[in-house]
């Protein structure tokens, strides 16, 4: 059964204007949601990395410069956060995720990161992320 909370969450995924109608055995819920054509004001940029399988053995000579670059962009206010990613419970990271306030900062990090130039990063992507909800 769908409650109003699930309808609200579903609304964030919509890209078209129009009503949502959800029927349960006892109720019909109808809510209208519209999309806006205005600029997305909460846009951030995700930089995703995939690492070589033996990242822990290979990153040593480059780690200080990698972290220093990230900290520099944090101080400048363009890198909001970042760190390694892995499967739950894994001891070796599969990659990393960084969140930037501008696309240019994501590209700058990618261009200057010694993990990229020294083969630690095997794949990367930069994605736009429209932040719809967050803790204030």
pTM of the model: 0.70
Rounded distance between C-alpha atoms, residue 50 and residue 87, angstroms = 12
Rounded distance between C-alpha atoms, residue 73 and residue 87, angstroms = 27
User: Under DSSP, is residue 122 helix (H, G, I), strand (E, B) or coil?
Assistant: strand
Q: Please write the tens of the pLDDT for every residue from 45-58.
A: 999 999 999 999 99
Q: Please write the tens of the pLDDT for every residue from 82-107.
A: 999 999 999 999 999 999 999 999 99
Q: What one-character-per-residue DSSP string does 8-75 give?
A: HHHHHH--S-EEEEEE-SS-EEEEEE----S--TTEEEEEEEEE-TTHHHHSHHHHHHHHHHHHHHHH
Confirm if 106 and 47 have CB atoms less than 8 A apart: yes
Confirm if 114 and 68 have CB atoms less than 8 A apart: no
């Amino acid at each position: 059964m769908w409650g109003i909370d699930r309808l609200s969450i579903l609304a964030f995924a919509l890209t078209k204007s129009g009503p949502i109608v959800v029927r349960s055995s006892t109720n019909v819920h109808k809510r209208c949601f519209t999309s806006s054509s205005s600029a997305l004001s909460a846009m951030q940029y995700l930089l995703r990395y995939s690492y070589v399988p033996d990242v822990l053995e290979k990153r040593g000579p480059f780690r200080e410069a990698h972290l220093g670059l990230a900290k520099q962009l944090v101080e400048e206010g363009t890198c909001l956060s970042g760190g390694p990613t892995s499967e739950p419970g894994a001891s070796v990271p599969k990659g990393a995720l960084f969140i930037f306030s501008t696309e240019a900062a994501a590209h700058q990090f990618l261009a200057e990161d010694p993990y990229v130039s020294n083969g630690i990063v095997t794949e990367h992507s930069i994605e736009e992320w429209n932040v719809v909800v967050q803790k204030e």
